[in-house]
């Protein structure tokens, strides 16, 4: 009995944490949320610029 109640308690705690995280990520009016999300987007943009931009536009097309 106590074990199942403990499991239910931990799963509800995880669900609550996930719910609060989703509400935090979706709240556009929260300045702190905007700060963190845009910081992550900036880091992702820098990663894309450094790693996914090394293609040569003037290279000849491959012969099929």
Partner 1 sequence: MGSVLAASSPNPPPPTSGAAVAPGLTVPPGFGMPSVSSVIPEAASGMQQQEEENPLPNPGAFDECHRKCKEVFPMQMEGVRLVVNKGLSNHFQVNHTVLLSTMGDSTYRFGATYVGKKQTGPAEFFPVMVGDMDNSGSLNAQIIHQVSSGVRSKLAFQTQQNKFVNWQGDAEIRGEDFTATVTLGNPDVLVGSGIVVTHYLQSITPSLALGGELVYHRRPGEEGSVMSLVGRYSGSNFIATLTLGSAGVHASYYHRANDQLQLGVEYEASTRMQDTSVSLGYQLDVPKANLLFKGSVDSNWVVGATLEKKLLPLPLSLVLCTFLNHRKNKFQCGFGVTIG
The site for partner 1 (CB under 8 A) is made up of 31, 34-35, 37-39, 41-42, 45-46, 48-50, 53-58
Q: Is the Cβ of residue 10 or residue 34 nearer to partner 1 in the bound state?
A: 34
Cβ atoms 25, 37 nearer than 8 A: yes
Q: Is the dihedral of CA 29, 30, 31, 35 positive or negative?
A: negative
Q: Is the Cβ of residue 5 or residue 29 nearer to partner 1 in the bound state?
A: 29
Q: Is the Cβ of residue 11 or residue 38 nearer to partner 1 in the bound state?
A: 38
> Helix axis angle, 2-26 relative to 31-51, nearest 10°?
80
């Amino acid at each position: 009995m106590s074990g199942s109640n403990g499991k239910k308690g931990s799963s509800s705690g995880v669900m609550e944490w996930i719910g609060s995280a989703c509400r935090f990520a979706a709240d556009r009016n929260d300045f702190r949320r905007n700060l963190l999300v845009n910081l992550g987007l900036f880091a992702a943009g820098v990663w894309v610029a450094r790693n996914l931009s090394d293609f040569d536009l003037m290279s000849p097309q491959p012969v099929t």
